[in-house]
């Protein structure tokens, strides 16, 4: 299989699911035989952004099928060869490139939040030519357990590296459950409901990106901006712009409690280029400025390291 064949297969009906099942089954087999290759980037500057980089509130798994992918980080970069898997922890800023000297790169990206799994293909069919074929989703029972196991695997990796038996066991269990989830996906929702679910999920994935707005989402999802806005409001009762701001404020509250980032840095990490605008949106949402909110948390004796992360997206 070459890169163009990968794009064709992933775009065909049922093709992405087949490719994802095969890739997950391969990783489960390698984990079981202890011959897996894991790339897990860490950062000293979580939840910050720079240039085209973004971070997620969930975990991203990239299963490399062909070529080499290069992932730019705030602290450097990592490269992921064929048959290896990349696990990106929550809050680690990154962007994907073609590996140095590689002619192509194909992988399957799986995003895991506490209430939804989404997956899609990603390919550089040649230098500078990028494709994102297909998309799928699943909402299996035990999804929070998968999320928690990935979190424990990251913590175990920090303590003992990829050779840790704990890390291997947690990944084996989590990927086995993901394989079952993809084998039995969420029914066949109506196209409109599916689009709204994907829209919510993409908002949560790209909250930190200053280009995130209704127009960007519509282009990203391949539809008209007015149609997307109307569909989102008709199915949720909320304007799409309001949903974006609401989730950004939740992320802002989390960062104000759990980090020492300045208010300007928090604004940037929440996708606001203008700190003053962030402050106005924040005050409208809760009656306090970001500075007042942080001071109140500290006065109440809140512990930053124990601050609860922002709530998950509803339905995606």
**Which one has a higher pLDDT value, 185 or 63?**
63
Q: Which CATH architecture has domain 191-306?
A: Orthogonal Bundle (1.10)
d(CA 283, CA 104): 47
Highest mean pLDDT among 78-82, 117-121, 132-136, 299-303: 78-82
Q: What is the mean pLDDT of residues 68-81?
A: 94
| Per-residue pLDDT tens over the stretch 31-73 | 999 999 999 998 887 877 677 788 888 899 999 999 999 999 9
Q: Is 238 helix (H, G, I), strand (E, B) or coil?
A: coil
pTM (predicted TM-score)? 0.73
Who has greater pLDDT, 176 or 164? 176
Q: Contact 82/64 with Cβ under 8 angstroms? A: yes
Q: Is the pLDDT of residue 187 over 80?
A: no
Q: In the predicted model, what is the mean pLDDT of the chain?
A: 87
Element (H, E) at 108: strand 105-112
pLDDT score at 21: 94
In angstroms, rounded to a whole number, what is the distance separating the alpha carbons of residues 137 and 85? 20
CA distance 16 to 10: 4
- pLDDT recorded at residue 316: 34
Please say if the pLDDT value at position 310 is more than 70: no
pLDDT over 70 (residue 313): no
Q: Contact, 258 vs 46, CB < 8 A?
A: no
Please tell me the distance from the alpha carbon of residue 160 to that of residue 166, in angstroms, as a whole number: 9
Where are the CATH 1.10.10.60 domain residues in the chain? 191-306
Eight-state DSSP code of residue 92: -
**Would you place residue 299 in the very low, low, confident or very high pLDDT band (cuts 50, 70, 90)?**
confident
Does 167 have pLDDT greater than 50?
yes
Q: What is the pLDDT of residue 121?
A: 93
Is pLDDT of 213 > 80?
Answer: yes
């Amino acid at each position: 299989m070459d890169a163009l064949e990968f794009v064709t297969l992933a775009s065909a009906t049922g093709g992405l699911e087949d490719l994802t099942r095969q890739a997950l089954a391969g990783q489960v087999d390698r984990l079981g035989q202890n011959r897996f290759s894991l790339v897990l980037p860490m950062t000293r500057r979580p939840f910050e952004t720079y240039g085209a980089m973004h971070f997620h509130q969930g975990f991203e798994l990239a299963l490399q099928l062909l070529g080499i992918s290069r992932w730019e980080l705030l602290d450097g970069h990592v490269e992921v060869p064929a048959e290896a898997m990349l696990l990106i922890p929550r809050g680690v800023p990154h962007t994907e490139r073609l590996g140095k000297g590689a002619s192509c790169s194909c992988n399957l990206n799986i995003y895991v939040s506490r209430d939804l799994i989404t997956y899609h293909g990603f390919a550089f069919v040649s230098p500078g030519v990028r494709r994102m074929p297909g998309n799928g989703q699943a909402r299996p029972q035990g999804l929070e357990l998968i999320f928690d196991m990935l979190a424990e695997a990251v913590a175990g990796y920090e303590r003992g590296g990829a050779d840790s038996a704990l890390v291997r066991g947690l990944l084996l269990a989590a990927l086995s459950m993901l394989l079952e989830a993809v084998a039995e996906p969420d029914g066949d929702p109506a196209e409109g409901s599916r689009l709204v679910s994907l829209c919510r999920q993409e908002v949560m994935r790209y909250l930190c990106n200053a280009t995130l707005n209704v127009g960007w989402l519509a282009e990203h999802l391949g539809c008209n901006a007015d149609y997307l806005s109307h569909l989102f409001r008709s199915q949720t009762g909320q304007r799409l712009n309001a949903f974006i701001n609401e989730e950004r404020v939740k992320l802002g509250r989390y960062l104000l409690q759990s980090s020492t980032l300045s208010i300007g840095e928090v604004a940037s990490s929440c996708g606001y280029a203008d700190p003053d605008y962030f402050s106005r949106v924040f005050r409208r949402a809760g009656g306090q400025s970001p500075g007042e909110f942080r001071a109140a948390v500290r006065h109440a004796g809140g512990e930053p390291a124990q601050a609860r992360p922002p709530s998950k997206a509803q339905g995606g």
